Amino acid sequence: MENIWDKKSKSYPKFTNSLSEFQIEFFDFLGSSGVDFSSKSVVDIGCGTGVYTLYIAKFAKSILGVDTSPKMLEILNQTASEFGIKNVQTKVGSLQEISENFDISFLTMSPALKDENDFAKFLSLGKTRVYMNWQAQRSSDLLEPFFAKFGRKNSQNTALKFENYLIKNKINYKSTVLEEFRTAKRDLAATFENVLWHLEINECKFDKNEVFEELKNLVKDGFIEENLSSSMKVLVL
């Protein structure tokens, strides 16, 4: 069976050598919290196509990008080559398969931390740790009607679970919540692929033809707009 993140790799955001307003706010908070990537060894867990990996590489001594998706890492390596970034290595694998230690362990928007064993492993990998994940369920005016119709997987968001773990173990940290509002515009084929992927990863039972027919009715001037609202928790420790 194809890795579900491999399916997403072609449409996943890529490194562009510039930061969005949200990303600027994110790195500003890290800087104000004492995080300095300069001349450091870094591991980026669940790095995907390397949007953050390759930005950090501009400052770090070295960075290892780890992901379970080979195709995501192929794109990361290709992009690194295009921008002449040479201090990046990649590894196909899971959090628990990382054996090295680093100055900074970095994890953003990844499902890699699932339980207390994962939390402890993540903390052990770096002297400084940076974590960002959902503070609340992301809202999409396009996807919510489909989730309501076909059901979705319900699970406690990992940011809350990890933060509770830190509190229970009396581990000090700095935190903030970052908000992002954006609009995505795609043609029918790209929207169809995106909706199917989200239904699949949320373990919904759905009919592809029914989804396609509903999406056809949303096309305006050749495109479908999706309005997204996200709330992310950042932890630095």
156 pLDDT higher than 70? no
208/200 Cα distance (integer angstroms): 11
Question: Among residues 61, 81, 67, 71, which one has the least CA distance to residue 15?
Answer: 81
49/67 Cα distance (integer angstroms): 9
Residue 203: what residue type?
Answer: E
Q: What is the pLDDT of residue 7?
A: 81
168/146 Cα distance (integer angstroms): 37
Q: What is the pLDDT of residue 154?
A: 59
Sequence spans of domains, the chain: 4-137+155-179+230-236
Between residues 230 and 170, which one has the greater pLDDT? Answer: 170
Report how far Cα 43 is from the mean position of its chain's Cα atoms.
Answer: 14
Count other Cβ atoms within 10 Å, centred on residue 169: 11
Q: Exposure string (b/e) for 200-229, b if CB count within 10 Å is 16 or more?
A: eebebebeeeebeeebeeeeeeeebebeee
Instruction: Find the mean pLDDT for residues 177-196.
Output: 93
**Partner residues linked to 100 by β-bridges:** none
Instruction: Find the mean pLDDT for residues 103-108.
Output: 98
What mean pLDDT is reported for the chain?
Answer: 93
26/63 Cα distance (integer angstroms): 19
For 34-64, the pLDDT digits (tens) are 999 999 999 999 999 999 999 999 999 999 9
Q: What is the pLDDT of residue 212?
A: 95
Question: Encoding tokens for residue 207?
Answer: 């009919």
Between residues 54 and 160, which one has the greater pLDDT? Answer: 54
Sheet holding 62-67, edge to edge: 88-92, 62-67, 41-45, 102-108, 126-140, 224-236, 174-186
Strand 224-236 with 126-140, pairing = antiparallel
143 pLDDT higher than 50? yes
4-137+155-179+230-236: CATH superfamily: Vaccinia Virus protein VP39 (3.40.50.150)
For 57-88, the pLDDT digits (tens) are 999 999 999 999 999 999 999 999 999 999 99
For 114-130, the pLDDT digits (tens) are 899 999 999 999 999 99
232/179 Cα distance (integer angstroms): 6
89/93 Cα distance (integer angstroms): 13
pLDDT band at 9 (very low <50, low <70, confident <90, very high): confident
**What sections of the chain are H helices per DSSP?**
4-8, 21-32, 51-57, 70-82, 116-125, 143-150, 158-168, 188-201, 208-216
For 85-102, the pLDDT digits (tens) are 999 999 999 999 999 999
153 pLDDT higher than 50? yes
Q: Are 186 and 224 in contact (CB under 8 A)?
A: yes
Q: What is the pLDDT of residue 1?
A: 42
